[in-house]
Amino acid sequence: METKTKISGAEAFIRSLLHEGVDTIFGYPGGAIMPVFDALYDFDKHVNHILTRHEQGATHAAQGYARVSGKVGVCLVTSGPAATNAITGIGDAMMDSTPMVVITGQVGAALLGSDAFQEIDVVGITQPITKWAYQIRKAEDIAWAVARAFYIARSGRPGPVVLDFAKNAQFEKIDFDYKPCTFIRSYIPIPEVNTDQIVAAAALINQAKKPFALVGQGVILANAEQELKAFLEKGNIPAAWTLLGSSAMSTDFTLNKGFLGMHGNVGPNLKTNECDVLIAIGMRFDDRVTGDLSRYAKQAKIIHLDIDISEINKNVKVDAPVLGTAKETLAALTEKINTASHSDWIESFKEYEEREFEKVIQKEIHPTTAEITMGEVIRKVSEATNNEAILVTDVGQNQMMAARYFNYTKTRSMVTSGGLGTMGFGIPAAMGAKIGAPERTVCMFAGDGGFQMTIQELGTIMQEQIGVKMIILNNHFLGMVRQWQEMFFEERYSFTKMQNPDFIAIAKAYRIEGTEVSARENLDAAIADMLKDDKPYLLVVNVEMKGMVFPMIPTGASVSDILLG
């Protein structure tokens, strides 16, 4: 890609992206980034630009692309309001450790600090929510900045990087020479595995009578799914997963005991406070998983495998920290642990599984009431795809129900907004997921509220013919808020009931096929129709208005205080 003649900074920037293997960019043009878009015009055979309908949509699409492909998502927007529109996606990516490079346009260097048209301090705003934020003021810094940005975004614990690109640097002419970045002084993305830590953790596991593993997204980010399976099987250790750890284990894996957290399964939550050794793998002890920290796993010795030293002892004091990438640390730990049998301990999960099935699951996926439930829709869609689809969710009841009732046979099959909980995430993230894994079926579940937050991205789906399958679980409420109002605010439904538009008519206006279902007898046929080809489709299912997501651990309660209804 090198050239001996001088080229513009804008072209140098595109060539730099190509050196980093970028094949897809999500973006929206504007004045301060126009030279880059002009240069992009000549590279349309090398890179696919997806014109989203809003900059937030571009960031979420880049997240979805990154999460399923394992590549760095790239987002290209202009200055001022475009940059601030991207903030939500940047923050979301930071919370969920998603590798992403966001390029924002900026006024020329001579105008910086003058309150010029559409000038805003992008670096100042984004520094707290990025791994690195840098302003490119001179064309000679472009190749260096891009190489550094991609190295930081993808290495170690992944995350977002912002490059704020002054307009003068886009015009300036330079000799282009690109050198990949492989090292930054004082930045150690992957800690060296410490043998003493491995030995100490293995000793605790070998002494354990009731070991229990908590599986987070760190396993997926490290491509350590096979190492995880080998570790669990050798130690015969039951395991549960966090929201972002979904699909690190297949649903039918015998040691997979389910979903942790506020709306997780009963067994994994209660067993957290019964185990004698708790092994946290690539997870950060989020409050939705731990509940009241003063009553969390106090009986257990705690082992924490993580790539990020700042997570060790941040929320939960651990007895044996193990630093490094999960792929290395799990393999090293597996060598040191004994082949074990914990059959009685594993068998003890069954009592909780049976109780939860009887009191919650059976009623949700095989309801006897006339109204359709969210859980039955989700399970039917999952089964209709042979449990091989990528699940994308918005945020709210739809998200928790999907996490509970969608099944997986493949890794990198769950895309959701975990840490930030961003309503409106679903549609654009599904677009990115489908582009990142075009050979796979992508099913996106949203509530009627979240769907309308980024509904304009139906225009992107139309223009690019992105074959996402969108399912609105329509209960005419902001469902999760309504559930809390019912349980904790004396049924005072303050501004949560929604009057909704004709979603199918809107989809039709965007030339997207769809259908609406209100009766159970029509549901199977509608799902089959949705999945018959690879075209975009909207299925609106009118579900029970006051459905509840159970089990539930109330805010501030212990994991042992989980409610079944």
DSSP, collapsed to helix, strand or coil, labels residue 384 as helix
Q: Which of 426, 415, 420 is nearest to 448 (CA)?
A: 426
Side-chain-side CA neighbours of 96 within 13 Å: the count stands at: 28
Any idea which residues carry the catalytic annotation? 55, 117-118, 167, 480
What angle in degrees, to the nearest 10, is found between the helix axes of 426-436 and 55-69? 40
**What is the side-by-side strand order in the sheet with 100-106?**
48-51, 24-27, 73-77, 100-106, 160-166, 132-136
CB 308 within 8 A of CB 293: no
Side-chain-side CA neighbours of 320 within 13 Å: the count stands at: 23
- How far, in Å, CA of 327 to CA of 139, rounded? 39
Q: Which of 317, 325, 155 is nearest to 228 (CA)?
A: 325
Query: Residue 511 forms beta bridges with which residues?
Result: none
Strand 239-241 to strand 537-542: parallel, antiparallel, or no bridges (unpaired)? unpaired
DSSP, collapsed to helix, strand or coil, labels residue 427 as helix
- How far, in Å, CA of 168 to CA of 138, rounded? 7
